[in-house]
Amino acid sequence: MLSWPKKTQLMLARIGVRHFADEINSSVRSAFVKGNARTDPVNVLPKSKYGGINTVSLVTGTTIIGQQGAQFVSSLLSSSRVPVEVQIIEAGQDDEYFHSVLRNRTAVHVDNQADAEAKQKALKISNDLDLYVFKTRTRSFPGFKCRFPGVDIQLIGQNNMGIFNELEYSPVEGVVEALSVVSQKSNEKYLEHAFKAAVKAGRKRVTLINKAKEWPISDGSLVEAAQRMHCNYEDCLDLELMELEPAISRLITKPNYFDCLFASDRYATFLSAICSGVCGGANLFSAVEIGDHHAVFKPLQTKLSLTNYSTLSAYGIVSTIVDLFQHLGHEKCAAALWCEMKRTMDEGIRTKEFGGHDTGEYVICNIINQLRCRALDK
């Protein structure tokens, strides 16, 4: 074994530590610039509600799915007789998209693209508008590929923290580290919204999915915050902690067990994919990315960037518009639209992916015709 003099060892140690520290500091600074980690509050403009009419940004894109979805959304909004107008944002208008959502506070995104550029844009919008919560509700519909009756799971996940900051750097050549940055303030902000949303939705038990045994600091801090903040909701909500692996197993074998799920951004997206798969498929459901002032509504099929469907599901679009109406305070219109979609399901009107022979256009037209008949009856 080589034996270096003490003075030489000290000099080598200083050189090594200085070089490594400089690499880390400069790389982390670059990574934070790359990831655009949010530190400042979002600029909030006055609500764009003129003459009692809400304006909603509608992002269409260039794909057939995007154009079809935009047509569905426009038709449903006009037939529902709701005071909502759409501002259509075409493909390539990235700056206009951001400013439109910033101004209107609400958007519907129907384009479905899974390429790297589209994912980057979605993450940027989520970060720039501080859409820190992701929500979706999956439930079973008889005859729609669900093996378990009576499933109704509300998932409220963290959206733009941790891995969604896209922070990564290379301390030395050939080695890359990806950072999952979380903060106590962000965890508490998310949990406060999640607990309130669960109470408003009438949920009785929330299950926080975590891996605190493997990630005792990051996941552990979220668990500790949840236990502390749950004291304010003990009279109306039960809190359950569950590790990720047994939660996935139970979701697949006994989904009826769950009522409401909380999860960090590390697990929320694929948990929503599992929940939707158990209940018949992501093309049945909707999702929303929401912050304190802004919200972007999407079919869950779009949120998960599922490209194995050639068309956009009519059911996901209707569910998205129902969520939009509820968000804007048009509860009666939301209930009427939901009832009409349920009616089509009960009457056996189904698209091909669910064993039927009808098209998405037929489903939408059937719902629209019934809404118009309701309007004439009044």
> Looking at residue 377, what is its pLDDT?
61
Rg of the Cα atoms in the chain: 24
Contact indicator for 161, 184 with CB cutoff of 8 Å? no
121 in the same domain as 155: no
What's the total number of domains in the chain?
2
177 with 255, same domain: the answer is yes
List the domain range (segments joined by +) for residue 185.
147-279
Let me know whether 191 and 227 are in one domain: yes
d(CA 160, CA 51): 34
**Same domain as 106, residue 165:** no
Considering the domain architecture, whether residues 261 and 364 belong to the same structural domain is answered as no
pLDDT digits (tens, 9 = 90+) for 337-356: 999 999 999 888 888 888 88
> What string of DSSP letters covers 262-316?
EE-HHHHHHHHHHHHHHTT-GGG-EEEEE-SS-EEEEEHHHHTT--S-SS--HHH
264 and 154 fall within a common domain: yes
User: 163, 270 in Cβ contact below 8 A?
Assistant: no
Residue where one domain finishes, among candidates 261, 279, 297 = 279
**Whether residue 229 is found in the same domain as residue 175:** yes
Q: How far from the centroid of its chain's Cα atoms is residue 132's Cα?
A: 9
pLDDT (0 to 100) of residue 320? 93
Helix spans in 172-254 (H): 184-200, 218-229, 244-253
Residues 116 and 152 in one domain: no
Of 264, 279, 294, the residue that ends a domain is 279
Integer Cα distance of 72 and 67 in angstroms: 9
Q: Are residues 165 and 250 in the same domain?
A: yes
In a domain, 26, yes or no: no
pLDDT of residue 245: 95
Spatial CB neighbours of 286, under 8 Å, sequence gap ≥ 6: 136, 137, 297, 298, 299, 300, 316, 319, 320, 322, 323
Asked if 77 and 293 touch (Cβ cutoff 8 Å), the reply is no
- 25 located within any domain: no
- 67 and 103 co-located in one domain: yes
pTM summary value: 0.84
Q: What type of residue is 26?
A: S
Q: Do 275 and 310 fall within a single domain?
A: no
Residue 110 lies in a domain: yes
Q: What pLDDT was estimated at residue 236?
A: 93
Is 103 a member of any domain? yes
User: Amino acid identity of 105?
Assistant: R
In a domain, 8, yes or no: no
- Helix, strand, coil fractions of the chain, as percent rounded to 5: 50, 20, 30
Examine residue 10 and state whether it is found in any structural domain, yes or no: no
- DSSP letters spanning 95-124: HHHHHHHHHHSEEEE-----SHHHHHHHHH
pLDDT digits (tens, 9 = 90+) for 29-71: 333 334 445 556 676 766 766 667 888 888 876 677 777 788 8
Domain annotation covers residue 9: no
Q: Is residue 179 part of a domain?
A: yes
If asked whether residues 93 and 157 sit together in one domain, one would say no
Q: Residue 113 has what pLDDT?
A: 65
CATH of the domain at 253: 3.40.718.10
Backbone angle region of 198, left / alpha / beta, with phi > 0 → left and psi within -120 to 50 → alpha: alpha
Q: What is the pLDDT along the chain (378 residues), one digit of tens a residue?
A: 445 455 444 443 443 333 333 333 333 333 333 444 555 667 676 676 666 788 888 887 667 777 778 888 888 888 777 888 888 887 666 677 788 888 889 999 887 666 667 777 777 788 888 899 999 999 999 888 888 888 999 999 998 765 555 677 788 888 988 777 788 888 999 999 999 999 999 999 999 999 999 988 888 999 999 999 999 999 999 999 999 999 999 999 999 999 999 999 889 988 999 999 899 888 899 999 999 999 999 988 777 766 566 677 889 899 999 999 999 999 998 999 999 999 999 888 888 888 888 888 899 999 988 887 766 565
Instruction: Check residue 195 and give its pLDDT.
Output: 97
